[in-house]
Amino acid sequence: MRMLTLALFVAALSQVTPAQSAELNAKEGLYEITINTEMPGMPMPSQSMRQCITQADIKNPQNIMKKAGQSDDCAIKNLQQESNKIAFSIACPSQQLSGQGEYRFSGESYSGTMSMTMPNPAGAGKPMSMTVKTTAKLVGPCK
């Protein structure tokens, strides 16, 4: 689940082009990322990871996807980007996921929420919903 969340966030970032707006309001360095996934009836523990974000990543967020080694199955629509915010809708056909997200950047940290729906794994009933809340803070230089 952690890699799916990262993949979705990175897929959103990879769609940003310089023509859409200014560079993200983020500093390069090593970020501690905490991911909280909420699904009705399924308690899930928080997960954390660290990722290095370079100046090149900030200027061209597609570099982050290459570092994560993720596929680009997810398509971004309705992308709106400012220096401190990215909002988008997303569809991942092979995983039958869809949803929307918003991330806010404030120099040495960022946070965001993605709300997604997916088929019920039991094969019956209405689709399942999932909310993924992400917070990240700069913890030092990249190693």
Q: How many CB atoms lie within 10 A of CB 59?
A: 11
Q: How far is CA 136 from CA 8, 91, 106, 131, in A?
A: 15, 24, 10, 17
How many Cα atoms occupy the beta-carbon half-sphere of 81 within 13 Å?
19
Q: What is the pLDDT of residues 58-69, one digit of tens each?
A: 776 555 545 544
CA-CA-CA-CA torsion for 17, 19, 25, 31, nearest 10 degrees? 10
Q: Which residue has the higher pLDDT, 127 or 141?
A: 141
Instruction: With CA atoms as reference, report the closest residue to 132 among 104, 108, 99, 110.
Output: 99
Band of residue 137 on the pLDDT scale cut at 50, 70, 90 = very high
Give the DSSP letter of residue 122. Answer: T
pLDDT at position 104 over 60: yes
Strand 29-38's sheet: what is its strand order?
A: 47-53, 29-38, 128-140, 109-118, 97-105, 85-92, 75-81
pTM of the prediction?
0.75
50 has a pLDDT exceeding 60: yes
Tell me what the mean pLDDT of segment 23-36 comes to: 90
DSSP 14: H
